Structure formats: structure tokens, C-alpha cells
Chain A
Amino acid sequence: MTGLVAYVRVFLTFARNSLVRDMTFRSNFMIESISSLSWMLMNLGFYVLIFSYTQNIGQGTDAWDKYQFFVFISTTMFVNSLVQAFFMPNAEEFSELIRTGGLDFALLKPIDTQFLISLHRVSWSSLSNFGFAVLLMAYALTHLDYTPSWFQVLAYPFYVLLGVAIMYSLMISLAATSIWLGRNQSLYNFWFYITNFSRYPMEIYRGPLGTPLRHFFTYLIPVLVVINVPARLLAKPLLPDYGYLALFALAATLASLVASRWIFTQALLSYRSASS
């Protein structure tokens, strides 16, 4: 317990220092917040446009109507903003620390190295999307044609966090490969590709091309469960068929975290530092 409290304190100091730094460069902070929010608004506008032509997405299956899909978009925003605020800047910097030998200092500290590397910077500006997502979610929920139960409301944030954990695991695993590769600058590309797949309902992946894709991104690289499971949990009435998906999401998260821990630890053993 003392250990946990100590880790929480360290994290709060990371968060505080990051905020102090962000506030020092307030114009940069504002520009980052506005650009990230603008991107989200453009995305939302795109879907509003789509729903001006159709009633739902994924017709012929368990389709998503407009307000259900707004819940889906809000979920995407929650997951993305949390990953981008807490993990993305750190994963990106990790590659650079490996290349320049800056990782030396992280290895000296009497604290879990993965914790230190993963959380030492917080990008507060990325949380502007989180605030916007709260508003969009509130709007969508009040327009749904049914009311979610308390169980659904409570399970939702838990599954959002599981989604964040899956994304984090993928990201830190990829960043850790820099130790073996010397340089890995594909992190942003990777993020773009992966989030592109994860931000659509599973139902659209059908047919000879879609089904293998759905299986690949559900069972091998489980990014499709990241948004789909929590969004479905809140946006639609609970069906027994979804139970297995919820259980699978839990197992996939645990497996992702364990795998990423293993990759990170193995990679650290191969760290060779850089010239002083």
C-alpha cells in the first residue's frame, strides 16, 4: 500500500510538472488544444453529414443509429484523448531516449522503469478533447431511445480504461522495439493506422475482405474491442450475445498488458546506452 501511495505521488508530481511546463508555453498550449479540438469537430461534422443521407450505419446487422453512433464517437474521443494525454508523448520520447542514451537516467531511479517511462510527461492539451467528449456524450445519451441501466453506466468507464490499456500496451511494445532496432519512428504512423481501424463499428467489417480483417483486429491485435465494447455497452440494450465480447475484452486487455510488460523487460536487457 505504501508503494502504491508512493507511485501515486510520483505520478501527481509528473502531472504537476507537466502542467507547469505547459503553462509556461501557454500559446503553444492553446494552439495544441485548438488544433486537436478542431480535428475532432471536423470528424464529427463528417459523421453528421453521413447521417444526413442515412438513418443508420451497418444496415442489415445490429446497426447504429445517429445518437448511438454519437456515443461511439464520444468513446473514441475518450480513449484517444486519454492515450494522447498520458502515453503518446512518453512512448514517442522513449524512442528518442534510447537513441540518445537518455534512458540511462531512467534506469538509475529506484522506481519501476516502465512506469517512469510511460507516465513521466502528461500532455494536458490533449485533454481538451476529453471535455468535448463529455458534452457530446451527454447530448447523445439524452437523445437515445432507451435509458441505460446503472450497471451499464458503471461498466462503461471501466471498459474505456480497458481500451486505453490495450492501446497503451500496443504503443509501448512498439516503442520498446527501438532498443533492438536503434530507431523506430513509425509510432505516429502506427497510431494513425490503428485508430483508423478501431474507430468504426465492428459491423462494417463483413464479407470476404471485412471478416478476416475483423478477426485479425479482434483476436490478434485486439484494437476493434477498444471502442466497440464500451460504446456498445452504453449505446445499446444489453444482449446475452455481447457477454462473450465483454469477457474477451477483459482477457485481451490482460494479455496485452502482460505481453507488453514482457517485451519491455526483454528490450531493456538489450539496452546498450549511447556514447557519452
Chain B
Amino acid sequence: MSLIQLDGLAKSYTIYQKQEGLKASLAGLFSREYRTVEAVRGIDLQVEQGEFVAFLGPNGAGKTTTLKLLSGVITPTAGTAKVLGFVPWRRENAYRRRFALVMGQKNQLWWDLPAQESFRLHQQIYRIDAQSFAATRDELVDLLDVRGLLTQPVRELSLGERMKMELIAALLHSPEVLFLDEPTIGLDVVAQHNIQKFLKHYQEFRKITILLTSHYMKDIAALCRRVVVIAKGQIVYDGSLSGIIDQFSSHKVLTLQFANDTMPSDLARYGDVLEIAEPKVTLKVDRNVIADVLSAVLANHTLEDVSVEDPPLEEVIAEVFSQSQSSSPSAAAGAGQGGQETISDVSSA
């Protein structure tokens, strides 16, 4: 059995639809309209020990909801899940000692105290013996280079420094499974890079299993071999990052550099013209006909240089996201409970 096993996992919420205006608010005291929002719609997934898996998806796709289900924070509407052999929402202490959840937008450290005070509290809560605690803390503090900040109140740390402290707090008990929900959100490029470097090193060294959600493609490219794309609460792709292009991109980018300033005027017959910078032109060409187009160009023109490339990954993913959002009639409906989710039912109560 896999370390993480999800079968038909689903979660839906009933959300009160507040109407605009005083009259509607008064009416809402007596009769309210509710909508069912399906945040996660029957996810099947297996993750093996030691994998570093990225959850990719637009806002409200169901990524965070899935992590919350796996952490036992919320209970599902349907389906089953097992992590390390435990059903997460039973909230057994034996399970809670073996995983950790870090949320980039939420803070679990005591705001007014230095982070080291929160670390000591974690030591007591997770019952970590003094020797292991000191060794793990020192290792993490050195890896993240925050020794000088341990005595500074958390509220006086920068966002990047605070995230490092959050990671230390989450890893003090040496979890076997780590859920990371947008750990680099809001961080500058340097801070993002530092967190990525740390996570990569830590995962390779400890061989723990990590599920990561992030909007930053660089996070995912740097860390994860396996990517799970979630849209509208369902898995639409599970594989390598580069495989996303093969599956979702219908075109390639063809760059031609014509010799002797002989650029033709009828470029549109080869494909969609993306950019012209004479004597260079960039075309978007259907990937099924790329060989034919290239043959025709070479037969009719003299070229100095030619290149065929996949479109940038960000562009492909943005396209997948926008497709999933435009096909959803309720893009903003579930914003209060994890962003965009699908409305399946409108009822009155």
C-alpha cells in the first residue's frame, strides 16, 4: 500500500449566499439561500514514500482543501484517505506526531515571543527528548541560517525569516510526511530561492514525503519530479512537469531567421505570427504539422537559422488554468472557502 492513498476523496461546503443591500440583509434573517460548493470532487491519488509531489492548480482548484483533508483539519464528504496507515480526520495523536503542515499564509508561532520559545513549546507538545530537540533545532537553524534571529520576537522578523522559523517549528519532531501550502508566497526571489534550496536538501537527506502547493513555477521546477494538476476539484494531470507541455500544449514555437533579407510577406500561411523582428520571425505552429511546415519553409526560402521549441511552461499552465476557470460558471463563488469552486446546486433554506 502507498504511503498516501486517496480514493474518491470529496469535500463539499454549503455556503450562504448573501445578497446585496439592506432589504436583502433583513430578508436574509428569515430566509437564506445556500449553495453547495464542491471543493474536491472524487480525487484518487497514490504517493509513495520519499516522493516530492507538487499540487498545481488555479486559486480555488481544491489544492489546499486536499491538504487540509490529509492533515485531518477537516472531514470529507465522501471517499477515503490513508496517510501512513492512518485515517487523517480521526485525529489520532500517533498520526499527528508523524506529519506536519506548513501554511504560507498562516502563522503558528507566538507572535510576541522569540521563535525559540515556540520551539520549546513544540518540544513539550511533541514530547521530544532534550538531546534530540537540541540536535534537530541546531541542524535546522544552521541550514536556514537563522541563529542570530532566535531571540528576536516573531513580529519583528521579515516574512522570509518568519517562514524559515515556521519550517523549523514544523520539522522539530522530524515528521515523515510534510504538507506545504504555498510556503514561498509573498517572498522575494532570494528568500524563495533559500527556502527551495533548504527543502531540496532536507528532502534528499531525510527522504521524507512532501506534498507541496505553490503558484511559483520555479518552486515546482526546482523541487518536484512529479506534478499533480488539479482543476475544479479534480485531478486533470499526474506526471512529470515537462509532460504537462506534451499533454496540454497543442503547438510549438518556430523561430526562423531568413538569409539575405529575403523575408516573405505571406508568413501567415505557415502559422500564427507571434513576433516579427526582421530578418527573424517567431511563429506558433500546430504541433501535428510542424514537420510539414518546416519542409515547406526550407523548400521555398533560404534560412540562416531555425529553431523549434516548446512554448514556455508558465504559458501552457496559464492556459490550462484559464481554460478550467472559464469553463466554470462560478469562478468566485467559493472564495470564502478556498477560492473558486464549482456550484452544483442552488437551494433555499
Interface residues of chain A, those whose CB is within 8 Å of chain B, are 6, 9-10, 13-14, 17, 20-21, 24-25, 101-102, 104-105, 107-111, 113, 116, 269, 271-276
Contact = CB atoms under 8 A, between A and B. Distances in A.
A276 B112 contact: no
B29 interface: no
20 contacts: A17-B113, A20-B117, A21-B112, A24-B112, A24-B153, A104-B101, A107-B72, A107-B91, A108-B72, A108-B96, A110-B94, A110-B97, A269-B75, A271-B73, A272-B13, A272-B337, A274-B336, A275-B335, A275-B336, A276-B64
Given A271-B73, A272-B337, A273-B68, A13 B105 contact: no
Given A6-B124, A110-B94, A110-B96, 18 more contacts: A9-B124, A10-B121, A13-B121, A17-B113, A21-B112, A21-B113, A104-B103, A107-B91, A108-B71, A108-B99, A109-B96, A110-B93, A110-B126, A269-B75, A275-B335, A275-B336, A275-B338, A276-B182
B49 interface: no
A109 B97 CA distance: 7
B106 interface: yes
B97 A13 contact: no
Contacts of A13: 120-121, 124
A137 B141 CA distance: 51
Interface in B80-117: 91, 93-94, 96-97, 99-101, 103, 105-106, 108, 110, 112-113, 117
A17 B182 contact: no
Contacts of A108: 71-73, 96, 99-101
Interface string B30-42: 0000000000000
Contact of A107 (B73, B112, B120, B127): B73
B125 A111 contact: yes
A111 B93 contact: yes
A104 B102 CA distance: 11
B181 interface: yes
B106 A102 contact: yes
Closest 6 CB pairs of A and B: A110-B96, A110-B93, A105-B108, A110-B97, A10-B124, A276-B64
Contact of B105 (A14, A111, A276): A276
Interface residues of B, number: 39
Given A10-B125, A20-B117, A109-B125, A275 B339 contact: yes
Contacts of B157: none
A123 to B, nearest CB: 14
Interface in B124-168: 124-127, 153
A1 to B, nearest CB: 14
Nearest to B120: A13
B74 interface: yes
B74 A271 contact: yes
A276 B103 contact: yes
Nearest to A24: B112
Nearest to A121: B110
B73 A273 contact: yes
Given A9-B124, A10-B125, A275-B337, A105 B106 contact: yes
Contacts of B108: 105
A116 B124 CA distance: 12
Nearest to A14: B121
Contacts of B335: 275
A131 B112 CA distance: 27
A172 B224 CA distance: 44
A265 B52 CA distance: 34
A102 B125 CA distance: 18
A111 B68 CA distance: 18
Contacts of A21: 110, 112-113
Interface string B10-29: 00010000000000000000
Interface in B331-348: 335-339
A9 B289 CA distance: 70
Nearest to A101: B106
Contacts of A17: 110, 113, 117-118, 121
A101 B106 CA distance: 9
A105 B107 CA distance: 9
Nearest to B114: A20
A187 B326 CA distance: 44
Contacts of B99: 108
A272 B74 contact: yes
A102 B103 CA distance: 11
